[in-house]
């Protein structure tokens, strides 16, 4: 009962493997339920427990609110449930219940709450208020703030891991397209090689006027169509018409970058580092140009682009102005790993984007916010905080906030007007050229450096994220070597079939390799230690490592197994599929069947058919295990079923096994005696 109580509180109770059959997890679970119901009465400790789903329903009814959730409540039990309810507060009640499972609630309106899993980058405005209040206790004057600022600039670099990556950059000239001239400005595409074979692509919007121009780096946000959409092109072209050189560039894994690493690579912590490396690399190049005024250098981006603005401002003193748009917050670090994948917010004991933006003081900053996203709190929280820090330098006039309370999360006309006003004032741009109707909106294909399908990509260009990951850590290096080993193993499996069909061979290899990698990665991310220690209710023995590994493995998504079997059967005969499965399990079916034939005297066709069926079931399930110990354990489970079957049908497994071992011993003794007599 103790083990059942423990495991029912974990997220592993429900097995996504469905009824694939024979999973030890499901067997144990049924046993636990049976034993619990039949032999354990409720105790003082358990009589107040309730399922999480029921508790949430009761809270909704009690407080007359709607509680929405897409989190898994199956098998999750709330101890002392009724005592966690606070009759005067729905929110305190939810907090008392949800903290048991690392869930949290978000209030959507006065009558609706949504239950979500914990997200470390996302908190509440109240959290932000407390955070900023705490930060203000750390520095009372410019001297104390400067010490904090030095710490932040140093540790942000370390937490981001930017310097080792910057050292690995290649030195190469940018690839530039022909210049396209429009009304008052021009556009030129570029591609800069950063890491070997990795390119960042973008477009340079340049004024047609002569002389030195202000430079505005425009990191992209998570907008529909990225930097190619109408709002973005309009902003870049208008700023260029007014006298600023604007550089627009892709997010990592978006636009042309997606042709190199796919979109999946964008949602990684590596993207957090690479996007900042890209910005700094573009800045390096642009400051070599004679038409750029190094005293007027800024960054301006919205949403995820605003998060980049903050980091660029912290990391590089060459920026002289900044304008984060619909992004800055003390309680939200960015919802994408490309903004919060690396633990930057842990610098110097804990920080947030508002404090990081404050390190830019006393240089000019304009924060643009709206009333319908996480920046709604800026006028009351983040802006007064920034004014306080800028006050240490008597530079409050250098920080401003344009708040649009009725607007939402976009880069619409009013946000763009705020950007224009800020840079007209800060960089002395020409307001008379402010006319968005003069900007030409290009097809995104015109803004590609390497063609719509990457057909013009350099021969050294990388073609997968794996080739980028290797620059980040030793674990990644090990994974790359592991990938190579798995691909070689998959190839030997395919070679054994002698298919004489290159396309079919390639498909089968891809299916097997994908499965092997999925099994490896899942096991690496889900160690057996996630299953609590407990007692086998049948034997009374403590579950060992292998038992716990089998239990955790039973929660692996069914699609991992189904993709393998479907992929194999699409191209192979059943005999060929079985050969592949035998290679996965090093021929355990034939080896074990041979053992049964030797142990069971005069084995019948019916007995052999049953045993072979069970062993094949074991084989198919065992392919989803990373270790041979796990594979062997699955076979042991099915061998137990076979031996039970024999016992129930007139055989005695123990006696047969005893007779067999005695026979083997006798044969060895006889052979030994015969050898001695020959001598």
Q: Is the pTM of this model over 0.75?
A: no
Q: Taking the CB of residue 474, how many other CB atoms lie within 10 A of it? A: 8
Domains 50-117 and 136-447 share a fold: no
Confidence of residue 545 (pLDDT cuts 50, 70, 90): confident
Confidence band (pLDDT; 50, 70, 90) for 679?
low
The domain 50-117 having CATH identifier 1.10.3470: the answer here is no
Task: Give the pLDDT confidence score for residue 106 in this predicted structure.
Answer: 80
CA 407 to chain centre: 30
Name the least confident of 54-63, 74-83, 144-153, 353-362. Answer: 74-83
**Sequential DSSP letters for 472-531:** T-HHHHHHHHHHHHHHHHHHHHHHTT----HHHHHHHHHHHHHHHHHHHHHHHHS-GGGS
Quote the CA–CA distance of 564 and 582 in Å, as a whole number.
14
Residue 108 has a pLDDT of 79
Q: What is the Cα–Cα distance from 615 to 638, expressed in whole angstroms?
A: 7
Whole-angstrom distance, CA of residue 495 vs CA of residue 503 = 13
pLDDT for 480 equals: 53
Tokens at 412, concatenated: 């619409």
Greatest alpha-carbon pair distance for the chain in Å reads 115
Query: Helix, strand, or coil here: 297?
Result: strand
β-pairing, 77-78 with 112-117? unpaired
Q: Decide if 338 contacts 220 (C-beta within 8 A).
A: no
Q: How many residues does the chain have?
A: 679
Report the pLDDT value the prediction gives residue 1, as an integer from 0 to 100: 33
Whole-number percent of the chain with pLDDT over 70: 90
Residue 552 — very low, low, confident or very high, per pLDDT cuts 50/70/90? confident
Using CA atoms, how far apart are residues 148 and 572, in angstroms rounded to an integer? 65
> 488 versus 150: which is more confidently predicted?
150
Residue-averaged pLDDT of the chain? 87
Is 73 or 164 the better-scoring residue by pLDDT? 164
pLDDT at 121 over 90: no
| Residue 532 CB-density burial (10 A; 0-12 exposed, 13-18 middle, 19+ buried) | middle
Nearest to 415 by CA among 551, 260, 223: 223
Nearest to 312 by CA among 359, 345, 266: 359
The pLDDT tens digits of the residues spanning 39-50 come to: 344 454 456 788
Structure tokens at 347: 């610098």
Taking the C-alpha atoms of residue 380 and residue 377, their distance in angstroms, rounded to an integer, is 6
Residue 102, sorted as left (phi over 0), alpha (psi -120 to 50) or beta, turns out to be: left
The span from the CA of 609 to the CA of 596, in Å, is 12
- In a 3-state reduction of DSSP, which class is residue 100? helix
Residue spans per domain, the chain: 50-117, 136-447, 474-659
Instruction: Please indicate whether residue 337 or residue 279 has the higher confidence score (pLDDT).
Output: 279
What pLDDT sits at residue 434? 97
The pLDDT of residue 17 is above 50:
no
- Answer whether 404's CB lies under 8 Å from 417's CB: no
- Provide mean pLDDT across the span 260-268: 88
Answer yes or no: are the C-beta atoms of 389 and 361 closer than 8 Å: yes
* Exposure on the CB side of residue 287, measured as CA atoms within 13 A: 15
Token reading at 637: 């489970």
Confidence of residue 70 (pLDDT cuts 50, 70, 90): confident
Q: Write down the H helix ranges in 103-161.
A: 125-136, 142-160
Name the pLDDT band for 479 (thresholds 50, 70, 90): low
Name residues whose C-beta falls within 8 Å of residue 627's C-beta, 6 or more positions apart in sequence.
523, 549
3-state DSSP of 178-235: CCEECCCEEEEEEEEECCCCCEEEEEEEEECCCCCEEEEEEECCCCCCHHHCHHHHHH
3-state secondary structure of 254: coil
Least confident of 202-206, 328-332, 421-425, 672-676: 672-676
Beta bridge partners of 524: none
Split at pLDDT 50, 70, 90, the class of 459 is very high
Taking the C-alpha atoms of residue 653 and residue 600, their distance in angstroms, rounded to an integer, is 8
CA-CA distance, 146 to 148, in Å (whole number)? 5
* Among candidate residues 75, 55, 82, 51, the one with its CA nearest the CA of residue 67: 55
Angle at 199 between CA 194 and CA 202, to 5 degrees: 110
Distance CA 344, CA 333 (A): 9
Alpha-helical runs (H) found in 600-652: 605-622, 628-648
Confidence at 496, pLDDT banded by 50, 70, 90: very high
What is the rounded average pLDDT of the residues 530-536?
71
CATH of 136-447, one of 1.10.150.530, 3.30.700.30, 3.40.50.1820, 1.10.10.1100: 3.40.50.1820
Is omega for the bond preceding 362 within 30 degrees of 0, making it cis?
yes
């Amino acid at each position: 009962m103790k083990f059942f109580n423990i495991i029912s509180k974990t997220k592993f109770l429900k097995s996504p493997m469905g009824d694939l059959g024979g999973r030890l997890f499901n067997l144990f679970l049924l046993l636990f339920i049976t034993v619990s119901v039949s032999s354990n009465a409720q105790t003082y400790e358990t009589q107040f427990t309730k399922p999480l789903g029921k508790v949430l329903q009761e809270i909704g009814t009690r407080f007359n609110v709607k509680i929405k959730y897409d989190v898994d409540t199956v098998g999750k039990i709330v101890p002392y449930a009724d005592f966690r309810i606070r009759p005067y507060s729905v929110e305190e009640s939810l907090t008392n219940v949800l903290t048991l499972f690392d869930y949290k609630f978000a209030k959507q309106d006065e009558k609706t709450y949504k239950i979500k899993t914990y997200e470390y980058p996302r908190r509440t405005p109240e959290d932000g208020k407390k955070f900023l209040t705490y930060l203000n206790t750390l520095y009372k004057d410019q001297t104390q703030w400067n010490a904090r600022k030095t710490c932040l600039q140093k540790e942000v670099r370390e937490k981001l891991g930017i310097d080792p990556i910057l050292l690995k950059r290649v030195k190469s000239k940018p690839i530039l397209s022909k210049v396209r001239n429009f009304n008052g400005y021009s556009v030129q595409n570029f591609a800069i090689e950063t890491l070997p074979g990795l390119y960042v692509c973008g477009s340079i919007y340049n004024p047609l006027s002569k002389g030195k121009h202000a430079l505005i780096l425009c990191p992209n946000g998570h907008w529909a169509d990225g930097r190619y959409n109408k709002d973005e092109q309009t902003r870049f072209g208008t700023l260029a018409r007014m006298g600023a050189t604007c550089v627009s560039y892709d997010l990592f894994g978006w636009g042309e970058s997606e042709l190199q690493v796919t979109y999946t690579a964008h949602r990684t912590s590596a993207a957090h580092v690479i996007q900042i490396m890209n910005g700094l690399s573009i800045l390096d190049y642009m400051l070599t140009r004679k038409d750029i005024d190094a005293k007027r250098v800024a960054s301006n981006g919205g949403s995820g682009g605003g998060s980049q603005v903050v980091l660029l401002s912290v990391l590089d003193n060459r920026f002289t102005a900044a304008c984060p748009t619909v992004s800055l917050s003390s309680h939200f670090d960015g919802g994408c790993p490309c903004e919060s994948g690396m633990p930057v917010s842990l610098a110097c004991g804990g920080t947030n984007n508002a404090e990081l933006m404050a390190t830019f003081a006393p240089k000019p900053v304009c924060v643009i916010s709206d009333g319908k996203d996480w920046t709604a709190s800026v006028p009351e929280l983040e802006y007064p905080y920034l004014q306080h820090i800028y006050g240490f330098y008597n530079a409050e006039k250098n920080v401003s906030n344009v708040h649009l309370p009725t607007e939402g999360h976009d880069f619409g006309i009013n946000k763009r007007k705020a950007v224009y006003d800020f840079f007209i004032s800060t960089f002395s741009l020409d307001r008379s050229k402010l006319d968005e109707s003069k900007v030409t909106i290009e097809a995104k294909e015109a803004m590609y450096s390497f063609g719509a399908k990457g057909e013009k990509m350099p021969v050294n260009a990388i073609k997968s994220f794996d080739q980028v990951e290797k620059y980040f850590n030793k674990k990644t290096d090990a994974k790359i070597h592991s990938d190579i080993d798995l691909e070689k193993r998959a190839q030997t499996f395919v070679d054994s079939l002698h298919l004489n069909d290159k396309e079919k061979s390639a498909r089968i290899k891809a299916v097997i390799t994908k499965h092997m990698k999925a099994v490896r990665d899942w096991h690496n991310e889900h160690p057996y230690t996630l299953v609590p220690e407990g007692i086998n209710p049948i034997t009374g023995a403590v579950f060992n490592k292998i038992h716990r590994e089998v239990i955790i493995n039973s929660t692996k998504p069914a699609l991992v197994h189904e993709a393998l079997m479907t992929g194999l059967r699409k191209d192979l005969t059943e005999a060929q599929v079985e050969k592949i499965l035998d290679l996965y399990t090093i021929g355990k079916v034939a080896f074990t069947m041979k053992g049964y034939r030797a142990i069971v005297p005069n084995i019948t066709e019916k007995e052999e058919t049953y045993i072979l069926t069970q062993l094949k079931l074991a084989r198919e399930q065992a392919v989803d295990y990373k270790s041979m110990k796990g594979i062997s354990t699955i076979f042991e489970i099915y061998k137990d079923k076979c031996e039970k079957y024999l016992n129930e049908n007139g055989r005695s497994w123990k006696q047969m096994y005893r007779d067999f071992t005695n026979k083997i011993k006798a044969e060895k003794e006889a052979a030994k005696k015969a050898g001695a007599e020959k001598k």
